[in-house]
Amino acid sequence: MKISIVLGTRPEIIKMSPVIRECERLGLDYFILHTGQHYSYNMDRVFFEDLELPEARYNLDVGSGHHGWQTGKMLVGIEKILEKERPDVVLVQGDTNSVLAGALAAVKLGIKVGHVEAGLRSYDRRMPEEVNRTLADHCSDYLFAPTEKSKKILLGEGVSKEKIFVTGNTVVDAVFQNLEIANRKRNVMNDLELRSKDYFLVTAHRQENVDNKARFAWILRGLKYIAEEFGLPLVYPIHPRSRRRMKEFGLQLDEARLIEPVDFLSFLQLENNAKLVLTDSGGVQEETCVLGVPCVTLRDNTERPETVEVGSNVLAGADSDKILKCAKMMVSRENSWENPFGDGDAGRKTVEILRGNDLFGTASAPQISGKAVEAEGSGTRIVIVVPTLNECEAVGKVLDGVKDVMDGYEYRMLVVDGHSIDGTDDIAREKGAEVIYQRGKGYGDALRTGFLYARKRLDAGVIVMMDADFTYDPRDIPELVAPILEHEADLVVGNRFAGMQKGAMSLVNRVGNRMLSLVAKFALRLNVYDTQSGMRAFRSELLDSVSLVTGGMPFALEMLAEARSADARIDETPVSYRPRLGRQSFIP
């Protein structure tokens, strides 16, 4: 898989830094395309160096300009590079013109798009960012939502749930990773002669605030009230746009300490040590929430409502009196809120999801021989694969059962997490399992993802496929594992639906269809034990058996017919059966 990371502003570089570092750590095939939306790459090169990131491979140096001109110029430049490189996926982050241009260029070339920080909405179409993020979401194939709220917004707009992955926000990763770098490289507190928690920090640069004379004047008056009320320094690294508007409108703020814009690492230190931050920046709202610093937002709305809900942030708008009132309230508030943006693992999860989905598309199917062999390199003989669609409690029980049964054997456990909205992935990791994510539409796709990942990524010699449905009984595990240990079979699948009656038959049909499609396409040269139907797969009368099990599902039959014509080895070994707990079982 080849990944293209398109970015053009410093906030994008910051929030993409965890993803870039993960790509570097894994040695993936990727490249960075810098549009130069705010600054030329030469000006941003020092920014990459400060964050200890690799250089961009391509630089468009588009520069500032009107939205249409700037976006159009980016679109032309990005398209040429994507045509040359032909990546499998283009990653964009946030809501800038670079995001919109990158997403449009990719989708028009038939390249998949991944949108990091998807599902944010302010519902204020006066903001160009709102238009950009909405359009980017609706032409993306992978929507990496930072929170459950973001996911619900996307679902409400008709986005397919299979495209949405709740990963947390990369801002958490970025804050802690980059703060560590900042503390090694910067000492802005000493440079500005500031004491920790003894000053207020201000940022105000959005066009809806600073381009409106009356609104900007009200905000500055509110800041003046705060300076007079608290008697603490008001540090304002003023954006060039804001400084120009102050001069143009004849406005001033003598009570604040206006300083030149500082680099990101220095600003991160200023945020971390401030008593209170007043801002109109969406990113700063997130960063202060993560850092435990109270925030007052100088806007009427926010696309980060989670910060307001947990109590780290409050909306003051541009009302001078309300700005002072909100500052008083936030200064007295305990900073004991819970961070709603995840555990600082969003970058890794994003890359894991892309790698897992590579197994579906651009990667070729693995070449598999008939007999299980000792895995080369890793030494892993057995990989236990547990596909799951939000069965949090059941997964824990299954993994505990696996550990009991497999005591004394060298093995690894792999959980394929279908949606990750109930903490399944966290429980799996606590139990010692590796977790991957998949974009599939159900259990069968989870089977396929787990099987291919174990083969290709974990170099497994033996694979055990297991089901984690809510009716699962860990006591069934020996029945599933026994063929592996006794006969070195490559694949065992197990599902309890086979013994259920009444309305469950439709589930049997659906699961059987997907399972047999998997087996037909990827396991024809394996010894296959199927405990769902109680049959040894690929006997000469297979098609008749499939008709009984799956209700004659056309897709399964088509896949099996295609596979049978490929001269694959069909195992004719007879099998006997005996009933067990009202269900079919087998004795090889």
Cα angle 309, 143, 179; round to 5: 60
Strand partners, 145: 166
CB contact burial 455-492 (16+ within 10 A = b; e otherwise): bbbbebbbbbbbbbbeebeeebbebbbbbbeeeebbbb
- Which uninterrupted H or E stretch holds 321? helix 320-331
d(CA 285, CA 291): 10
C-alpha 221/C-alpha 238 separation (Å) is 16
Per-residue CA distances from 569 to 92, 261, 429, 447, 464 (Å)? 46, 69, 38, 22, 21
What are residue 428's phi and psi, to 5 degrees? -60, -45
SS3 198: coil
Q: 382 pairs with which residues across the strands?
A: 411, 462
- Please check whether residue 280 is in contact with residue 299, taking contact to mean a CB–CB distance below 8 angstroms: yes
In contact, 346 and 150? CB cutoff 8 Å: no
Of the candidates 320, 241, 299, the one whose C-alpha atom is nearest the C-alpha of residue 124 is 299
Q: Which residue is listed with tokens 């990989």?
A: 383
Residue type, 268: L
Element (H, E) at 138: helix 128-138
Closest CA to 485 of 588, 580, 387: 588
Interatomic CA distance for residues 510 and 443, integer angstroms = 9
The CA angle 310-340-302, to the nearest 5 degrees, is: 65
List the structure tokens of 350.
């994003």
CA dihedral 366, 367, 370, 376 (to 10 degrees): -80
Distance CA 6, CA 74 (A): 11
- State how far the alpha carbon of 28 is from the alpha carbons of 168, 181, 351, 352, in Å: 22, 24, 10, 11
Report d(CA 423, CA 343) in Å as an integer: 12
Question: Tokens for 220?
Answer: 């500055």
| Separation CA 88–CA 72 (nearest Å) | 23
User: Which residues are registered as beta bridge partners of 314?
Assistant: 296
| Known active-site residue 205 | yes
34, 38, 205, 419: the catalytic one is: 205
User: Is there a contact between 144 and 118 (Cβ–Cβ < 8 Å)?
Assistant: yes
DSSP E strands, 392-437 = 411-417, 434-437
Residue 408 is classified by DSSP as T
Active centre residues (catalytic): 205
